Amino acid sequence: MAEVTDLKNNFLTLKSNYEPKIGDSIAINGTCLTVVKKDTGTFTVELSPETQQTIAIENLKGKVHMEPAMQLNDRLEGHIVQGHIDTIGEVTKIVPLSNATDIYIKIPKKYIKYIIPKGSIAVDGISLTVNDVFEDSFRLTIIPHTLENTLLGTYKPGTRVNIETDMFARYLYHMFSKEKTITWDMVDSIMASY
């Protein structure tokens, strides 16, 4: 987690125990940004106009999720997340269960094709597993540990969130929509290259 100290024009300044270097890529609420300035105890990232139009910028206040970019020699665990926000989702329903919480998120219909049941999705940079996919929304089941250690526990119906869909679903959809003929050998070859 980091804490926003300032958001002015294109610059977002954050306070954190983590000390990045100038030029480092760092995800803030799931959005991959570049560190452009460092001061004692704070660092600043720059947001392009495209980024500002694509993300839920109103959430860049108070505490935010922060994750440095993975290095190639890091251990790979969980889902692959790039920090490339596809769209903004809106929390529509939160249903407490006995030992978990279901969260329903609505997104523009044109992005639902990239969301797969039991596939991965990043919500504000939190890598999660999709349980159900509907016409224009999806359902997540969140365990207490995740609710307590992320901002998910603060979300309410109406909260807007940054959505990064499954990278492989995007690639496969794009590939299949362009190619007239494609074989499973081609799919295997592409998947093996990642």
Q: Which fold has domain 2-68?
A: Elongation Factor Tu (Ef-tu); domain 3 (2.40.30)
* Amino acid 66: pLDDT: 96
First to last CA, the chain: 28
* Amino acid 17: pLDDT: 93
C-alpha–C-alpha distance, residues 101 and 140, integer Å: 8
C-alpha–C-alpha distance, residues 7 and 60, integer Å: 8
Range list of β-strands (E), 48-125: 63-64, 66-68, 87-96, 101-106, 120-123
Low-confidence spans in the chain with pLDDT less than 70: 76-79, 178-184, 187, 190-191, 193-194
* Amino acid 77: pLDDT: 66
From the options 2.40.30.20, 2.40.50.100, 3.40.50.300, 2.40.50.140, give the CATH code of 87-171. Answer: 2.40.30.20
Q: Where in the chain is the domain with CATH 2.40.30.20?
A: 2-68, 87-171
Tell me the CA distances in angstroms from 123 to 7, 40, 81, one per residue in order: 21, 30, 10
* Amino acid 69: pLDDT: 83
* Amino acid 194: pLDDT: 61
